[in-house]
Amino acid sequence: MNLTSPREVFKIVIMQNAASILVAHNHVSANCTSSPEDIRVTKRLQQAGEILSVELIDHLIVTSNKFTSLKERGYF
């Protein structure tokens, strides 16, 4: 199930006239490993950003004591 719609994310971005965004979400399990869905959402957001000329700076997965950067992991 995909709960993140690029349309909803970029609606706010466009209304704020933003040139770039950083997205983040939490994993309550304390596991920062990205899921296949996390990677799919990241790629869709990057593609949508390219079309709209809005740079996706990073997508972070955060827990209570650490984080993972999907950009550093090479997912986009």
Query: 49 pLDDT band (50/70/90 cuts)?
Result: very high
Q: What is the mean pLDDT of residues 34-60?
A: 96
* Res 2: pLDDT: 57
* Res 76: pLDDT: 86
The rounded mean pLDDT for the chain is: 93
pTM: 0.88
Task: Domains for the chain: give ranges and CATH numbers.
Answer: 6-69 (3.40.140.10)
pLDDT per residue as tens digits for the range 1-28: 456 789 999 999 999 999 999 999 999 9
* Res 4: pLDDT: 79
Half-sphere exposure of 31 (CA within 13 A, CB side): 5
Half-sphere exposure of 24 (CA within 13 A, CB side): 11
